[in-house]
Structure 1
Amino acid sequence: MAVTPVLPRVPYEVRICSSTGSVTTGEPPLGLTTPWGLQALDDADTVLVTGHEAFREPPPPEVADALRACVERGCRTAAIGTGTFTLAATGILDGRWATTAWPNLPELARLHPQVEVVPVGTPSVEDGPFLTAAGLFGGLDLCVDLVERDHGVQTAATTVRQLMTPLHDSAVTDREELEREITDRTDIGPTRAWAEANLHRPLTLSDMAAHARVSVSSLTRRFRAQTGLPPLQFLLRARLHKAQLLLENTHTPIDRIAVQSGFGSPANLRHHFHRLTGMTPSAYRGMFHGFAAMVSMTGQEDGEER
């Protein structure tokens, strides 16, 4: 039973399990005896597969069977870094979103094409009962998230503070900032909606962070986790989408569309629009209206035939 002196009422029974009774990892090699076999997974509430050197190889059949059995009985299942490859090899991630250490993302997509691999920049991903994390800090984010779900935000924040204190004993400001970021797990949906309603304004990161009542670094972290994009990239895509809607559904002049969508000037609108779509705004409008007219004419002809 793992009990910390600062959180005595938050016990976890941690079992390090393997099919062989020992684990060797790291450089130089570190050997670790595992007192629990796979049978210890039978009543586990959460199973966490860590990264390992043989991640490219299929897991032993008994390991794959044990993981599938855990999933079948509704166990919370997670993986950190290259541990995602092991879950993917069992087939339990088929058709689901997942991530791994960013240098291994292309390899995960190649070896396991049935898994929906999330792009670089997402620290952790949840899809159904499965959670996967990208590398060390993604793993920290995932584990703290599990503590928060089990015992609340304040316990998670205290856990992070205790974890980081030995590493940054003199960096009090860094610890406090990290604690604020972990503590603030508020959905940024309201700030996204506010930004989308104010695209015509020259919004900055500071403006968005002030609306969300978090630091700029916390805002960036939350946006990446919940949208897959940094805040300014999210703004750019939202502005592009609004410009497209105006081009499709109105005859508003290009210069007014540039202002209403937040690009400011026609030149700026044309630059970003062409870079993201491969077309100019005028060409896009002409193509869309031409297509709409063709569809309308086809509908009229169908009515006449009837």
Structure 2
Amino acid sequence: MRNNLAMTAPHQVAVLVVDEVVAFDLGTATQVFSTARTADGVGLYTVGVCTAGGRPVRSSAGFRVLPDHGLELVESAGTVVVPGVHGGSALLDGVVETEVATALRAAHRRGARIVSVCTGAFVLAAAGLLNGRRATTHWAYADRFRALYPDVDLDPDVLFLADDPVLTSAGVAAGIDLCLHVVRTDHGSEVANRAARRCVVPAWRDGGQAQYIERPVPRGPGTGVAATREWARQRLHEPLTLRDLAGHARMSVRTFVRHFRSETGLSPVQWLLQQRTDHARLLLETTDLPVDQVAHRAGFGTAAAFRQQLHQRIGVSPSAYRRTFRR
């Protein structure tokens, strides 16, 4: 879904906070949306923090949050974000304050986009907004979530899920990925990438990526493959082989694959496909190149191979993707 927000007034985002809010999640939404700007530096979102009655609430980090707004902010917001909680009735008992649930349901009925970060999904579920929907939350709370909210189709193995107009993310940093996804949906990759650079985070992690991976401690200097990954990114249009990558890293193929997977959680082939797909998406959004040229520049070789890969990863054709995301 692409919203025509770029030509209108800044989009209002209400960050709805309840007791025991996770401080990191609260900062995620306010930071990412406040950072999203045009090339001329014009802000594309206005962000406000609100609570029931405008009352202070406890955070899980040992301090209180003093909001500037009450729930009236939710009544006018185009997007409502609920940060995660580390305790409280929604997480423990499946219950949320009546006025919070009423405000969320009213926002949903009038067509506002509803977003949860991490265990904020418990709040949405307690308000009845996730019944019959696909959703995710922090993997460590999956069993508790299923016990409290059996009518929700929970997938704890992804970074985020968009069951429009309700979007949910996995734990902690996955909220950044979801907020950037929202910015990208609204304004395209150029704006989202600038916001990511300002926040010093990766511009894109696919929502279907696993929530967590093993990352062993590096064994010593010179064992990493980061330089080879950057080398490969500059040559996506070339027919890179596993032997080419291992040769650049000055490792045997077997050793290279082991180090690569330990650092990225992906095989070199999976990572290369991801990089090529992401580059092709950027070309679709920012150029008028025909699909066959996009496929060539991204290293897919043929338009048919590119179409197959794009459909496999995000379920749409190149032309449909371009219509959706091209400004």
Band the TM-score falls in, shorter-chain normalisation? 0.5 to 0.7
**Amino acid across the alignment from 2:44:** P
Residue 149 (str. 1) matches residue 185 (str. 2): yes
Going from structure 1 to structure 2, the CA distance change for 1:83 and 1:209 (only over 3 Å counts) comes to: closer
Aligned match of 2:74 in 41, 47, 63?
Answer: 41
Matched, 1:24 2:58: yes
1:249-299 Cα offsets, whole Å, 9 max, x none, are: xxxxxxxxxxxxxxxxxxxxxxxxxxxxxxxxxxxxxxxxxxxxxxxxxxx
Residue 3 and residue 127 in structure 1: after superposition, are their counterparts in 2 closer, same or farther (change >3 A)?
A: closer
SS of 2:69's partner is coil
Aligned partners of 2:144 and 2:77: how far apart in 1? 30
Unaligned regions of 5+ residues in structure 2, if any?
1-9, 11-32, 208-265, 279-308, 315-327
Asked if residue 160 in structure 1 is aligned to residue 193 in structure 2, the reply is: no
Q: Point out the structure with the larger helix share.
A: 1
Alignment of 1:186-265 (within 5 A): 205-211=267-273, 213-214=275-276
- Relative contact order higher in (CA < 8 Å, ≥ 6 apart): 2
Residues 114 and 209 of structure 1, relative CA distance in 2, 3 Å threshold: same
C-alpha distance in 1 between matches for 2:64 and 2:136:
27
Give the whole-Å Cα distance in 1 for the aligned partners of 2:60 and 2:273: 44
Secondary structure of 2:123's counterpart equals: helix
Distance 1:77 1:14 in 2: 14
Map 1:287-306 → 2, pairs under 5 A: none
Q: Percent identity?
A: 30
Q: How does 1:11-90 map to 2 (within 5 A)?
A: 11-20=44-53, 21-27=55-61, 29-52=62-85, 53-54=87-88, 55-56=90-91, 57=93, 58-90=95-127
Q: Matches of 2:181 and 2:137 in 1, distance apart? A: 17
| 1:123 and 1:137 in contact (8 A); partners too | no
- Pair 1:116 & 2:178 matched: no
CA distance in 1, matches of 2:164, 2:48: 24
Partner Cα separation in structure 2 for residue 139 and residue 3 of structure 1: 15
Deviation at 1:215, TM superposition (A): 9.0
CA contact (8 A) 2:117 2:170 kept: yes
Aligned-partner Cα distance in 2 for 1:24–1:147: 29
SS of alignment partner, residue 16 of structure 1: strand
Q: 1:151–1:63: structure 2 CA closer, same or farther, 3 Å change rule?
A: same
Q: Answer yes or no: is the 8 Å Cα contact 1:10–1:151 preserved in 2.
A: no
Decide whether aligned partners of structure 1 residues 51 and 5 sit closer, same or farther in structure 2, where only a CA change above 3 A counts.
closer
Give the RMSD, CA atoms, in angstroms.
3.1
CA distance in 1, matches of 2:195, 2:51: 27
Offset of 1:209 from its aligned partner?
4.5
CA distance in 2, matches of 1:137, 1:146: 15
Structure 1 counterpart SS, 2:81: strand
CA distance in structure 2 between the aligned counterparts of 1:48 and 1:210, rounded to whole angstroms: 33
Residue by residue over 1:143-190, the C-alpha shift from the partner in whole angstroms, topping out at 9 and shown as x without a partner, is: 0011111221011111111112xxxxxxxxxx6xx34x45x89xxxxx
For residues 221-250 of structure 1, the C-alpha deviation after alignment (integer angstroms, 9 at most, x for no partner) is x99x959xxxxxxxxxxxxxxxxxxxxxxx
Please state whether the residue corresponding to 2:114 is helix, strand or coil: strand
- Code of the aligned partner of 1:131: L
SS at 1:136 equivalent: coil
Distance 1:6 1:124, change over 3 A: closer
How far off is 1:137 after superposition? 1.9
Q: Is the 8 A contact 2:50 2:68 kept in 1?
A: yes
8 Å contact from structure 2 (residues 36, 43) kept in 1: no
How far residue 125 of structure 1 moved from its aligned partner, in angstroms, is: 0.8
Instruction: Report the alpha carbon displacement of residue 213 of structure 1 after superposing the two structures with TM.
Output: 4.8
Give the structure-2-normalised TM-score: 0.51
Q: Distance in 2 between matches of 1:96 and 1:6?
A: 32
Mapped pair 1:138 → 2:174: yes
- Mapped to 2, the partners of 1:212 and 1:128 lie a distance apart of 24
Tell me if structure 1 keeps the 8 A contact 2:136–2:170.
Answer: yes
Question: 1:112 & 1:80 partners in 2: Cα distance?
Answer: 17
Cα separation, 2, equivalents of 1:12 and 1:19: 22
Equivalent residue, structure 2, for 1:103: 140
The answer to whether the Cα contact below 8 Å between 1:209 and 1:215 also exists between their aligned partners in 2 is no
TM norm structure 1: 0.55
3-state SS, counterpart of residue 15 of structure 1: strand
**In the alignment, is the contact (CA less than 8 A) between 1:18 and 1:36 conserved in 2?**
yes
How far residue 206 of structure 1 moved from its aligned partner, in angstroms, is: 3.5
Name the count of aligned residue pairs: 187
